[in-house]
Chains A and B, each alone.
Chain A
């Protein structure tokens, strides 16, 4: 396959534009479908009423935040191994979107927590892990921003992303363990309402929509970076 043909920023530029356009359109369509399923079709929950509908944004956003981090680390690793600038640009382009989804996950989680358990913030294991993931994203972005020399910035951020991706499971499990030790309390996102099939379908559609949105937005960002670097 002619993958390496597209490794040059100049040849990738028009391809990125086309992919971004189609993914963007698909994302808008799927978001509409997903929100329709989530807000209209899915039944009202017996315990939590209408508020639970925020999971149609919260859960897909959380999935994307973790998925994007792994993909970002993957691109960074490729950039480090093959010394290609475009791979490093892809990693840099994904970071803000990943951070955004992490923030959305935290914010919607907070909105869910207030009516359901009475507090805006709960030290639930998953929310706490999301918070630390947000710091990891910020660290990546901040490190890139602090280094003037572009090649050093690419490589340093790549090492950071790889170290982060290795640590994320360790952090997640240690926070899980910390949570069971200290809480054992009633607040827990793992005890979300048992999922009716429509709810699962709604979340999957939204997840797909978010994924396509991420692709579109990152590619637009990469195009901007390509323009800036020439």
Chain B
């Protein structure tokens, strides 16, 4: 489904990686590992189209993503380092807007269930939540993204406690089971069986 062909990435005049090629099919878990500064986040951003490679291209179902633009965006969920949540709104309001922007129809009940799944029942604005709670609010989106084939997650387990980590692992495993693909970066051992690893 997702194909990276000969990717070169240069940041600040320095080459991060060269000639990187791999394929991610349905039901695959791909873990991107590497030391700090090795280009894990850059690779993820290359895959979702926020960054353009100096050479090579990324293809989705055979088409270069540069040409697909919004059609490709519809098929992926990207959760980066920053939570992607507005401080002044509550987790539920944020999730509602995120779904509207992603073209995913989600009723209030579904949003409530998604938040409950990651153990977040707070109605307070994001500003008043702890780091771990914000992370959970950001990841709650995954519970509503079952239909989206590709998940690109940057450090999904960071700042989470053991219970939340287990829940996210379950979400990821379920998605792979449904035939979706998950590409993620992490420092820790994800505890996910059957994950391929690419070392940068």
Q: Which residues of A contact B (CB under 8 A)?
A: 148-151, 229
A-B contact count (CB 8 A): 6
Q: How distant is the Cα of A150 from the Cα of B12 in the complex, in angstroms? A: 7
Minimal Cβ-Cβ distance residue in A for B54: A151
Q: Which residue of A has the minimal Cβ distance to B10?
A: A151
Q: Could you mark each residue 85-117 of chain B with 1 if its beta carbon is under 8 Å from any beta carbon of chain A, else 0?
A: 000000000000000000000000000000000
B residues neighboring A (CB under 8 Å): 10-13
> Chain A residues near B10 (CB, 8 Å)?
151
- Given the complex of chains A and B, what is the CA–CA distance between A229 and B13 in angstroms? 9
Chain A's closest residue to B52 (CB) is: A83
Contacts of A151 in B (CB 8 A): 10
| A154 CB, min distance to chain B CBs, angstroms | 12
* A92 CB to nearest chain B CB (Å): 16
6 contacts between A and B (CB under 8 A): A148-B12, A149-B11, A149-B12, A150-B13, A151-B10, A229-B13
Which residues of chain B have C-beta atoms less than 8 A from A149's C-beta? Answer: 11-12
A148–B14 alpha-carbon span in the complex (Å): 13
Which residues of A are found within 8 Å of B13, using beta-carbon distances? 150, 229
CA distance A33 to B187 in the complex (A): 71
Q: Complex: how many Å from CA A218 to CA B200?
A: 41
Q: For the complex, what is the distance from the CA of A58 to the CA of B13, rounded to whole Å?
A: 41
> Which B residues touch A148, using CB under 8 A?
12
A residues near B12, Cβ cutoff 8 Å? 148-149
Bound together, the chains give a CA A229 to CA B10 distance in angstroms of: 13
A151 and B13 alpha carbons, distance in the complex (Å): 9
A151 to B53 CA separation, bound complex (whole angstroms) = 11
Give CA–CA (A151, B10) in the complex, Å: 10
> How far, in Å, is B12 (CB) from chain A's closest CB?
6
Q: Closest chain B residue to A150 by CB distance? A: B13
Nearest residue, chain A, Cβ from B13: A150
Residue of B nearest to A148 (CB): B12
A22 CA to B12 CA, complexed, in Å: 36
- The smallest C-beta distance from A85 to any residue of chain B, in angstroms, reads 10
Give the shortest distance, in Å, between B57 (CB) and chain A (any CB): 13
Q: How far is the CB of A6 from chain B (nearest CB, A)?
A: 20
Q: Which B residue sits closest to A149, measured CB to CB?
A: B12
User: In the complex, A149 Cα to B14 Cα: how many Å?
Assistant: 10
Question: Within the assembled complex, what's the spacing in Å between the Cα atoms of A221 and B11?
Answer: 24
CA distance A151 to B11 in the complex (A): 9
List B contacts of A229 (CB < 8 A). Answer: 13
Residue of B whose beta carbon sits closest to that of A155:
B52
Considering the chains assembled together, what is the distance between the CA atoms of A148 and B11 in angstroms? 10
| Closest Cβ neighbor of B11 among chain A residues | A149
Residues on the B chain within 8 Å of A150, using CB: 13
- Nearest Cβ distance between residue A156 and chain B, in whole angstroms? 14
Which are the 6 A-B pairs with shortest beta-carbon distances? A149-B12, A150-B13, A148-B12, A149-B11, A151-B10, A229-B13
